[in-house]
Amino acid sequence: MRTCILMNPKAGSAAQGAALRGAVAGRSDTIIRETRRPGDARALAAEMSRAGYELIVAAGGDGTINEVVNGLAAASAHATLGIIPLGTGNDLARTLAIPSDPLEALALLTRGPVRVIDLMKIESADATAYGINVAAGGFSGQVDEVLTEELKATWGPLAYLIGAARVLPDLTGYETTIAWEDGPPERVEALNVVVANGRTVGGGIPVAPAANPEDGRLDVVVVRYSSVVELMGVAARLLAGNYLTSERVFHRQVRRVRIASRPGMWFNVDGELLTNEPVTISVLPQALRVVVGPTYAPNRTV
């Protein structure tokens, strides 16, 4: 199978990058292309799929995977997605049971099972994008605004907790309307809204533990704005993996959802900030072939 690995050289360590290059050297069916700036992985994914590469591999973090997915979706490509996790969180890789060791993930590409999973399409007045893991707005968007590449490089997964601590003094309650499917909008004062295809963010935090990437549904989880004491209780349940049972949280599974708020709620898609305009998020069922780990189970909870 002709394979193109799109590697973010800023992700992972220099030793991991060198090991990957060494493992691929001499393979006639595999090439590595390195990204240099934001947007490169998207453009290269579309270009390489049009050039006939059957397996396009994202070697980087969730942001790199998101770019590759957007490139494949924009090009209507039929290539299969492979993943070599080199990022800070590697959350999609967790859901898909892909080994965290890059060389093990590389070996999986030639022998791992291939599944067909759903994607998300996110549309607003100023942007259209595709997502594969999680789109989140409100508190999550505020955290993403303070997360820098330096912070993530220095602290790894702890960067997300540090970012959350920085945002806590300025918690915002968003007057939000949510329309489920084609139904009428419902009003809620929300702190955070998660629309998920995968299960975790921030290096394993189970924001959508019931999500199934193959069920043709999006898991929407809304955390209501509350007192700091109540939110601490929600956070404790979140880290324990059972916050869906909290009275301050509600959860639905839908094919489409429209979200608008005052003030504008910044939404990120797979960790990348997109827009603070009203968004419509739809599921694209069975949209992408992807290599998964041998223990992957689509309906498994974390």
283 is written with which tokens?
């599921």
Angle between helices 158-167 and 139-146 (to 10 degrees): 110
By three-state DSSP, how is residue 85 classified?
strand
Instruction: Compute the distance between CA of residue 273 and CA of residue 37 in angstroms, rounded to an integer.
Output: 16
Length of the chain: 302
Q: Is 123 labeled as catalytic in the residue annotation?
A: no
Contacts of 165 (CB under 8 A, 6+ apart): none
CA-to-CA separations, 120 to 87, 138, 219, in angstroms, rounded = 21, 19, 11
Catalytic residue among 47, 123, 272, 277: 272
Specify whether the CB–CB gap between 250 and 213 falls below 8 A.
Answer: no
Q: How far, in whole angstroms, is CA 140 from its chain's centroid?
A: 12
Contacts of 193 (CB under 8 A, 6+ apart): 136, 137, 138, 176, 178, 220, 221, 222, 223, 259, 265
Contacts of 258 (CB under 8 A, 6+ apart): 178, 179, 185, 278, 279, 280, 281
Active site residues: 272
